[in-house]
Amino acid sequence: MDWQGMLFQNWSGIVRTLLVGTLAYVTLVLFLRISGKRTLAKLNAFDLVVTVALGSTLSAILLQESIALAEGAAALALLIGLQFLVTFWSVRSARFAKALRSEPALLARNGAYCEKAMIRARITQDEALSAVRAAGGRQIDEVETLVLESDGTLSVALKG
């Protein structure tokens, strides 16, 4: 086993990573500033996927020598451009928006679980109670509503 090759290959790889990484980072920040705050908003599952894809693309640019900075910048621009188009059409077409995002699900109401909704959402009672505790409650009978939001977060409204 080549331990030396696993720990250090050469200085040119390190220099490339530092140089291309800095330039790719600056490029991503510029693209995000141009595209606006909505690009990285995690309002639904689609937004989360785009955010993860941007991070994955940046990582690939940094670590894969076969990807030139220009190709990586084009990939980042493509993801941001597609995100812009999707959000552009989402705010103009309710049908388009509905096709992309999931609707919130009511998991508990007036101190009782909505069992069918919890099964569809694949949320356990333990996970629901964890959200209740995080909101300052102790048990489900203290809950007015528990909602699984479009972005995957659990919102809790306690009674009183």
Average pLDDT of the segment spanning 124-133: 93
Long-range (24+ apart) CB contacts under 8 A made by 97-100 are 100/44, 100/46
Do 76 and 149 reside in the same domain of the chain?
no
Cα separations (Å) of 18 from 5, 24, 126, 146?
19, 10, 45, 46
Lowest-confidence pick of 14-23, 32-41, 64-73, 142-151: 32-41
Cα dihedral 125, 114, 141, 144, rounded to 10, equals 120
Average pLDDT of the segment spanning 118-143: 93
Question: Which of 67, 83, 99 delimits the end of a domain?
Answer: 99
Average pLDDT of the segment spanning 12-31: 89
- The predicted model scores a pTM of 0.67
80 is in which domain, residue-wise? 3-99
Do 73 and 113 reside in the same domain of the chain?
no
| Domain count along the chain | 2
Do 70 and 8 reside in the same domain of the chain?
yes
pLDDT tens for 32-58 read 888 777 666 766 677 778 888 989 999
Q: Which two tokens stand for residue 107?
A: 């998991």
Question: Which of 54, 76, 99 delimits the end of a domain?
Answer: 99
Do 85 and 109 reside in the same domain of the chain?
no
Question: For position 128, what pLDDT does the model report?
Answer: 93
pLDDT tens for 80-113 read 898 888 888 988 998 988 887 778 899 999 999 9
Question: Which of 60, 84, 99 delimits the end of a domain?
Answer: 99
Do 19 and 88 reside in the same domain of the chain?
yes
